[in-house]
Amino acid sequence: MIRSNSLPTTLLRLAAVGACALMLSGCISLLPKSKPAQLYRFGQHQAPPATGPAAAGAAPIGVFRASGVFQQESAGDRILTITGEHAAYIAQARWVAPAAVLFDAAVLNAFDAHGGRARLVSRGEPAHSDYALRLDVRDFETRYESGEKAAPTVVVRVRAQLTRSQNNAVVGEQIFEARVPADNNRVGAIVGAYDKALTEVLGKVVAWTDGSLT
């Protein structure tokens, strides 16, 4: 009697698995759906190589890249915007890596492309350096200065300090800034403005560093 009134064990197990699957599928369907973020990068365009005596045969001078600071709000992979007193990030848009990481790569590329006397030496690199260069990124943001629907302006502002490695004496200190209006209020145009602003600033930083070496 007990066997005739009971479901086989296999059927019970299948029923339990089916019930769990149904509950799980129900939970998955309740999760919100979001569009994948578009990824962008900057720092691919560099200033033209240096020309003249310094670039043609002069011995390179090692410049150690000292640790600097990056504007905290924009150091990550989100694109910071400023409208009046309000700050926000562009929705569904990200840098392919943290902005601070992309900036460091752009600095190395800028010095390599310049071809002047200054040769940037990274931390851990077995090379002698006579100078140390510290770069602090004070501003790296998109500013809507004419309203949130108008084309914004990208602002890149970097403080550079050059010191002698032998005695830490300050050789020079200067702030470099570039303000580049985007062609329109689209992410692609804004990213293009970042590229132009960074190229302008790093071109000035490299030329200033190269000209400060003795």
List pLDDT tens digits, range 164-173.
999 999 999 9
CATH label of the domain that carries residue 75: 3.40.50.10610
pLDDT higher than threshold 50 for residue 12: no
**CA quadruple 70, 72, 76, 82: dihedral positive or negative?**
negative
Residue 127 is assigned to a structural domain of this protein: yes
Q: What angle do CA 41, 108, 60 make, to 5 degrees?
A: 160
Q: Is residue 30 part of a domain?
A: no
Q: Is residue 201 part of a domain?
A: yes
Distance CA 140, CA 89 (A): 13
Report the DSSP beta bridge partners of residue 140: 156
Cα distances (Å, whole numbers) of residue 28 to 21, 24, 40: 11, 6, 30
The percentage of the chain sitting over the pLDDT mark of 70, rounded to a whole number, equals 78
Q: Find the domain containing 202 and state its range.
A: 38-212
pLDDT at 23: 42
Q: Is 159 a member of any domain?
A: yes
Average pLDDT over residues 189-213: 96
Model confidence pLDDT, tens digit, residues 106-158:
999 999 998 889 999 988 777 789 999 999 999 999 999 999 889 999 999 99
Report if residue 104 sits inside a domain: yes
User: Among 33-37, 146-150, 182-186, 190-194, where is mean pLDDT lowest?
Assistant: 33-37
Q: For the chain, how many structural domains are there in total?
A: 1
